[in-house]
Structure 1
Amino acid sequence: MIVVAEFLRFSALHGLVAPATVSLLSQPKFLRFAPPGHDTGENNQWRHIQAAAFRFQITEPGYEDLTPEQIRHMIGQVPRARDKFLIALLAATGLRIGEALGLHQQDLHFLASSQMLGCTLTGPHLHVHRRLDNPNHALAKSPRSRSIPTTPELVALYTDYQHERDRVPEAAHHPMVFVNLFRPPLGRAMSYPNTKQAFERWARTAGHPARPHILRHSAATRWLRDGVDRDVVQRLMGHASPLSLQRYRHVDDTELRAAVDHLQALKEQP
């Protein structure tokens, strides 16, 4: 809207738009509460400004996340070990789908100690790297590498996937974690379109929306609701700015009720 308004003002200066049209773009407004740093003048004469007359109607964006029960049900409905591992990986780590599809087998350090791999981190974890030469064009959004701890349950699902993958000779030496096992070309790295189609099938089976970003959203929301420090969540999610977490934190009715009940309990204390 700002660009359109400025274009119309520019056009009016060159006689392409009537001045009356430009006059409709703004309207007088009195700043009752001036923003920080705004000089209102000695007599508040600068509290009168020209504000935009046309604005987009801002609506609350749709918010979707999955409960742990829904995620477990979704994993249980998927018959293949590879797909179970992919769903659990996104839900447990908050990875973006590009980061997951871009994982190499060398990025998964799922042993108790990774010293033999030259890694000083303890416990099972994975590393996220931005690579520009992935055969499936999967790309991590952030150029900064990061590590994410993983759970024993996730390691167990990966072990099941490895057994499933070992039955496909074409996939034996491929460096990527997620590869085609059930349709040609066998052994090729999974692509974005194929993964999208798979999630659409899983959503129909589960009976609720299921997209990669919903699982990422669910992970961040669960961490924040469980009281995990926001700096830790920011690091896990790979966000450059803490403001990026705002979209993941939505207060639900249960939290509102708990807050009111807590306040009432404090008032009743002697």
Structure 2
Amino acid sequence: MTDATEPFIDERTAFDSYLRSEKQLSPRTQESYARDLKKFFAYCQHHNITQFDQINAQSVRQNLAQLHRAGLSGKSLRRWLSSLRAFFRFAIRRGWLKYNPAEDLQAPKIEKKLPKVLDADQASQFVELSGDNFLDRRDRALLELIYSSGLRLAEVAGLNIQDIDLQDALVVVTGKGSKTRTLPVGKQAIAALRQWLAVRTQAVSADEQALFITARGRRISHRAIQLRLQQLSQRQSMDNPVHPHMLRHSFASHMLESSGDLRLVQELLGHANISTTQVYTHLDFQHLAKVYDQAHPRAQRKKSGD
């Protein structure tokens, strides 16, 4: 419940109603706005800012710097600024403000984190599951297919039987924006899929078209796949838990490392913009730099001297 001493309570209530009724945002998004705005109004309360004409770019900038010093990430700060801009635009329409004090402010740049990947040996160690029961076959086919074709979690979970062509070793996936793409499937994945399809009929429900199902015969969920990979990470003695996107990242990195063709990797991953794919050039460079440091005699001498 909002503390009565906090400023702009009525205005915040009106904004909440606007987000819910007119914008029809999800409860989760509304909560995100509320958390961001609460940070700013706590700042206002601390500095005795109780009227809109007391809010200016300087006060927003000071709060931004304060949150940055407190350790809020660049991504969170950008979202915080976006929430403030939305609230101030609403305030302008209501006549409470004459201009948007957050409009020209910029959050610190977001540091791009390189995705974690497995090297080729680690990837093989993870996907080569032993065992011949129902779940063993399903999990082996699931892992092999993700790594073989670089699929997203949602893409592999959404696959239907008719999306796989074992004869021509192809899979049709539906990616972001409902865009479909046809991808090659490696021979190891095809072999694993054949083994899986031979036992899938034992549990599948009559009307279920999903390629990957649970022991109860229904489509496996995103969360179930994530949890299963965590369990398999321990079973396969991996150093760290492996999640579905790590297999996708590993596929991309290994393809780029072998082919050097960034456009090819972009097409395979289904990236709309090649700038999204370019992160893997940094991964490839890191790999080359690591090999150089290990192999080059001058690099070794420098390292031992240090």
One fold, TM greater than 0.5?
Answer: yes
Identity of aligned residues (%): 23
Task: Tell me, yes or no, if the aligned pair for 2:138 and 2:212 is still in contact at 8 Å.
Answer: yes
Structure 2 match to 1:246: 278
What is the rounded CA distance, in whole Å, between the counterparts of 1:19 and 1:66 in structure 2? 46
Residue 226 of structure 1: SS of its match in structure 2?
Answer: helix
* Equivalent pair of 2:253/2:284 in contact (CA under 8 Å): no
Q: Which residue of 1 aligns with 2:67?
A: none
TM-score (norm 1): 0.65
The alpha-carbon deviation at position 191 of structure 1 amounts to 0.7
Structural mapping, 1:218-237, within 5 Å: 218-237=250-269
Q: CA RMSD in A?
A: 3.7
Where does residue 48 of structure 1 map in the other structure?
A: none
Give matches, 1:128-147, under 5 Å: 128-129=173-174, 140-147=175-182
* Equivalence for 1:76: 128
Aligned residues: 210
Cα distance, 1:143–1:67 mapped onto 2, change above 3 Å: same
Q: Secondary structure at the match of 1:176?
A: coil
Taking structure 2 as the reference length, the TM-score comes to: 0.58
**2:186 pairs with one of 151, 155, 160:** 151
The match for 1:126 is: 171
8 Å CA contact 1:12, 1:18 repeated in 2: no
Tell me which residue corresponds to 2:108: 56
| Stretches of structure 2 lacking an aligned partner (at least 5 in a row) | 1-35, 44-48, 65-103, 299-306
SS in 1 for 2:53: coil
- Give runs of ≥4 in structure 1 deviating > 6 Å: 257-262
SS of the residue 1:156 aligns to: helix
Separation in 2, partners of 1:257, 1:20: 46
Matches within 5 A, 1:77-226: 77=129, 79=131, 80-111=136-167, 123-129=168-174, 140-168=175-203, 170-171=204-205, 174-181=208-215, 186-206=216-236, 207=238, 208-226=240-258
Q: Which has the higher contact order (CA 8 A, sep 6+)?
A: 1
Deviations 1:33-89, CA, capped at 9 Å, x for gaps? xxxxxxxxxxxxxxxxxx96x853754525310122212211234540110011111
Amino acid at match of 2:208: H
Sort the Cα spacing of 1:13 and 1:241 in 2 relative to 1 into closer, same or farther, 3 A: farther
Aligned to 1:119: none
Equivalent residues of 2:115, 2:246 under 8 A apart: no
Change over 3 Å in CA distance of 1:190–1:16 after alignment to 2: same
| Rounded Cα–Cα distance in structure 1 between residues aligned with 2:50 and 2:186 | 63
**Distance of aligned partners of 1:107 and 1:257 in 2 relative to their CA distance in 1, 3 Å threshold:** closer
How has the CA–CA distance of structure 1 residues 204 and 56 changed in structure 2, closer, same or farther, with 3 Å as cutoff?
Answer: farther
**DSSP-derived class of the 2:151 partner:** coil
